[in-house]
Amino acid sequence: MVVTAAKFDSLAEAAFEAYIHERLDEFHYCPSPDCMQVYRPAPSGNTLQCPSCLLHICPQCHVEQHDGIDCPDHDGGVHLFNEWIKTHNVKNCPSCKVPIERAEGCNHVTCICCRTHICWVCMQTFPRGDGIYNHMRAEHGGIGNAFDNNGL
| 17-66 pLDDT tens trace | 889 888 888 888 898 878 889 988 877 667 889 999 999 998 788 888 88
| Residue with more model confidence, 68 or 93 | 93
- If asked whether residues 96 and 127 sit together in one domain, one would say yes
Give the predicted TM-score (pTM) of the model.
0.49
Per-residue model confidence (pLDDT) at position 76: 63
| 95-143 pLDDT tens trace | 888 889 887 788 999 998 888 999 999 999 997 778 999 999 999 998 8
Q: Please tell me the total count of domains within the chain.
A: 2
132, 116 contact by CB (below 8 A): no
Domain range for 128: 91-152
Cα-trace Rg, the chain = 18
- If asked whether residues 109 and 146 sit together in one domain, one would say yes
- Where among 88, 107, 125 does a domain terminate? 88
Cβ burial of 136 (10 Å; 0-12, 13-18, 19+) is: buried
Using 50, 70 and 90 to split pLDDT, how confident is the model at 151? Answer: very low
Q: Based on the residue annotation, tell me whether 93 is a catalytic residue of this protein.
A: no
Per-residue model confidence (pLDDT) at position 145: 65
- If asked whether residues 70 and 109 sit together in one domain, one would say no
Catalytic choice (106, 111, 114, 119) = 106
Q: Quick check: 1 pLDDT over 80? A: no
- If asked whether residues 100 and 83 sit together in one domain, one would say no
- If asked whether residues 75 and 2 sit together in one domain, one would say yes
Cβ burial of 85 (10 Å; 0-12, 13-18, 19+) is: middle
- If asked whether residues 100 and 56 sit together in one domain, one would say no
